[in-house]
Structure 1
Amino acid sequence: MKYIVFEGLDGSGKTTVSKMFVRYLSSKNYTVFYTREPYTTEIETLIRQNQTNKTLLFLFLADRSIHIEKLKNQNVDFIVSDRSFYSTVAYQGYGGGIDIDFVIKLNEFVVDNFLPDVVFYLDCSPDIALSRSKKLDAIENKNLDFFEKVRQGYLDLAKKYNFFTINAQDSLENVFKNVIKCYETIFV
């Protein structure tokens, strides 16, 4: 089983591209489990309310703990996820100012070494991402400076964890082609 994650700012296209990728894998006759974070409806409801950054951190950790246990029990060729623990590091750590090493340690404890095989980071400037994003709530309702910090966090994480960084400001067709090209360098 291979675990593939799509990361990026809201509005970067990660949800659209991850679903396109699932269709691509399915067309190749692979079994695929598609998922996203937040995972549980109950915790997502709490997350979508106006929460402090510390509260959001622990809600995401609780949600992720439940999510990872579900993922470990999948019997498929691929798990494709829209977000993972890197989002929490980028948003609550870099963007929200919680100690990054602390956020990483908490997430490492929760995921218990169940880490993605591949991460596609769809990089997009915050102003473009925000102009594309259709939802504004407790998570996204921040200022441009916040999203600049989150983006910088993702760029730092991409270097540290060897993400595939894809220019998400390109056309959707080209973004998807670049994802497939990266995927094929590893799995084909």
Structure 2
Amino acid sequence: MDLPRVAGGVAVELPREDPDPGDLRRSSRFVTFEGGEGAGKSSQMAGVAGRLRGLGVEVVTTREPGGCQMAERIRELVVGGGPGAFDPRAEWLLMLAARIEHLRAVIRPALARGSWVLCDRFSGSTVAYQGYGRGLDLAWMGEVHRFVQEGLEPDRVILLDVDPEVGLGRALGANRFERESSGFHRRVRAGFLAMAGADPERWRVVDAHADKAVVAEAVWRAVVMS
């Protein structure tokens, strides 16, 4: 699927100057970072968090699955083992159980006190991996996600898009998703791009093949520009 990119081609016209730091401090925002294995989500999220903190913005960084004690215990279970370790339905429901605890313990309290929340993976990854990747029913998943999240959706979703072969070459092979077939990873990428294409108001697609500095600037502007 051909989508305009923020890096390696501009998806939206973003101002060249950063917004007023006071504007960034005045309201909370929930930003999620999505993408396939080896896309660079964690490092890019850390870079954005550092820049925001440098402007005096309170930032909470977290991840899925995980982010709180109970959810991290579920993470240990769900990312371990090899391909085929779980029925796809069980895998998905474990992800959602972790999300419920994560929302309760970390995300909602942080947003309520006015913090920015930056999250490495959220519902986009669940739909891409367990929906497009595993073949679970997307409409059914959507209904359950609305129940689990109680209407909470990210204000902005940053999709770091990378060819699966490139991303897997960067990855460490430390979790079972990285050891899935190339076909699985192609379906996951297609799912991410389909979601981005269907919701261009919230999603920004960043070409993660570009130079790291170029990607970092594109990600920053996609996060802070409305």
TM-score of the pair, normalised by structure 2: 0.79
Aligned residues: 186
Distance across 1 between alignment mates of 2:178 and 2:36: 9
Q: Could you list the per-position Cα deviations for residues 106-157 of structure 1 after superposition, in whole angstroms to 9, with x for gaps in the alignment? A: 1121111111100100000000011011134332221111010000000011
TM-score of the pair, normalised by structure 1: 0.94
The one of 95, 99, 109 equivalent to 2:137 is 99
The one of 205, 209, 214 equivalent to 1:165 is 205
Equivalences for 1:136-151 in 2 at 5 Å?
136-151=174-189
Secondary structure at the aligned position of 2:47 is classed as helix
Contact 1:47–1:139 under 8 Å retained in 2: no
Contact 2:35–2:161 under 8 Å retained in 1: yes
- Residue of structure 2 equivalent to 1:185: 225
**Alignment gaps of 5+ in structure 1:** none
Distance across 2 between alignment mates of 1:133 and 1:21: 21
AA at the equivalent of 1:79: V
Which entry has the higher C-alpha Rg, 1 or 2?
2
- Residue of structure 2 equivalent to 1:176: 216
Equivalences for 1:41-52 in 2 at 5 Å?
41-49=72-80, 50-52=85-87
Contact 1:36–1:83 under 8 Å retained in 2: yes
How high is the sequence identity, in percent, across the aligned residues?
Answer: 28
| Structure 1 range deviating more: 98-107 or 1-10 | 98-107
User: Displaced runs of 4+ in structure 1, greater than 6 A?
Assistant: none
**Alignment gaps of 5+ in structure 2:** 1-27
Distance across 2 between alignment mates of 1:62 and 1:9: 22
Q: What is the RMSD of the two structures over their aligned residues, measured on CA atoms? A: 1.2
1:24 aligns with 2:47: no
Distance across 2 between alignment mates of 1:47 and 1:21: 28
AA at the equivalent of 2:225: T
